[in-house]
Amino acid sequence: MRIDAGLCPAVFGLSGPVLTDRERDLFARIKPFGFILFARNVETPDQVRVLADSLRPLAAASPCPILIDQEGGRVARLRPPHWPAYPAGDVFGRLFERDPLAGRRAIYLNYRLIAEDLHALGINVDCVPVLDVPARGGHGVIGDRAYSRSPEAVAVLGREASAGLMDGGVLPVIKHIPGHGRAAADSHLELPTVTTRRATLRSRDFVPFRALRDAPFAMTAHVVYADLDPHRPATTSPFVIEHAIRRDIGFDGALISDDLNMQALSGSLGARARAAQDAGCDLALHCNGEFDEIEAVAEALAPASPATLRRLKRALLWLAPPKHFDIEAGRWERDRLLARVEA
């Protein structure tokens, strides 16, 4: 495992299914921590493997972190016919309500299967589990992506999902810390404000994140928590990151901003990136692959701090070769368990 001290503390998307010469030259110069893939970057298994191979020499970290959002349900970058469809998160919560052991086993198998798909492509980080706890009045952007309305159930299921990924050689990213379930707006489109008191957030919304505080990575919520910081969303709030995420929740892993291009944030891309970094995010996430924007974000970021380098190195130490797994038997068992939800 290696991380160059001069890395650009960011994760970048790219424009299409093939790395362009301009992108290759830019990434070779700025040396980002890693990359993230979207539907525009994936066509066939062979194409994705070639793309992943072309990215590895350009990252400051080895092994090169290649991220994707492969939750299942609405949020899946890899889809049929080349990859299996996976269910949305809430089906596992419904099974868990009926039979906790069956729910735990089903979600473990589901993410173990996803890990098999990803590892075969050279993708080693998945932006799951979703640990947000839905609340009355919350926007549907989370909706069926959430495992349950019970914080304790979300914690248990999130742990099993993470275990399934890691047993398959893929690192999880818990999200959206410290909790997006109460947000009454979609942070892709506007800035949500949560007015719930801090004590309630601690006793409910923070619970799953606290239970998984040992995760290697977490992704921030572009949400204002008015009782913590009425002026800035978590991503750019030093108070929320220091007091809620690092202290109340106890998370000391590598903290990734949610996508800087989301409309919840304001200002130029460079200003957003630097505000997230100054607030305490270890990595800035820029997803759309726009060349000029990537340059602006890279130029705005300061060198990674010693604390950030420590957290990034520690996160990558979690990567391990996949354990033996019978894919067909695992898929059959998962499907048999999930059939009980509709029975």
Q: Residue 149: inside a domain, yes or no?
A: yes
CB 110 within 8 A of CB 126: no
CB 26 within 8 A of CB 294: yes
Give the pTM.
0.96
Residues 74-131 pLDDT 10s: 999 999 999 999 999 999 999 999 999 999 999 999 999 999 999 999 999 999 999 9
Q: Residue 38: inside a domain, yes or no?
A: no
Q: Residue 66: inside a domain, yes or no?
A: no
Total number of domains in the chain:
1
Q: What is the percent of the chain where pLDDT is above 90? A: 92
Q: How far apart are CA 267 and CA 262, in angstroms?
A: 11
Q: Taking Cα atoms as reference points, which of 19, 109, 10, 72 lies closest to residue 334?
A: 109
Q: Residue 143: inside a domain, yes or no?
A: yes
Q: Residue 218: inside a domain, yes or no?
A: yes
Q: How far apart are CA 255 and CA 173, in angstroms?
A: 9
Residue 86, C-beta contacts closer than 8 angstroms, at least 6 positions apart: 70, 71, 72, 73, 76, 110, 113, 114
Q: Residue 216: inside a domain, yes or no?
A: yes
Residues 150-186 pLDDT 10s: 999 999 999 999 999 999 999 999 999 999 999 877 7
| Other C-beta atoms lying within 10 Å of the C-beta of residue 328 | 7
- Whether the pLDDT of residue 260 is over 70: the answer is yes
- Whether the pLDDT of residue 187 is over 70: the answer is yes
* Pairing mode, strands 61-62 and 2-3: antiparallel
Q: Which residues are part of the catalytic machinery?
A: 188, 258
Q: Taking Cα atoms as reference points, which of 118, 109, 110 lies closest to residue 169?
A: 118
Residues 267-320 pLDDT 10s: 999 999 999 999 999 999 999 999 999 999 999 999 999 999 999 999 999 999
Q: Taking Cα atoms as reference points, which of 181, 291, 307 lies closest to residue 241?
A: 307
CB 168 within 8 A of CB 157: no
CB 196 within 8 A of CB 161: no
CB-neighbour burial class of residue 324 (10 A; exposed 0-12, middle 13-18, buried 19+): exposed
Q: What is the DSSP string of 185-225?
A: S-TTTS--EE---HHHIIIIITHHHHHTTT-SEEEE---EE
Q: Residue 89: inside a domain, yes or no?
A: yes
Q: How far apart are CA 152 and CA 149, in angstroms?
A: 9
**Residue found under tokens 């993410």:** 111
Find the CATH number of the domain harbouring 273. 3.20.20.300
- 314 lies in which domain range? 85-282+306-342
Q: Residue 117: inside a domain, yes or no?
A: yes
What's the Cα-to-Cα distance from 57 to each of 14, 39, 54, rounded to whole Å? 15, 22, 7
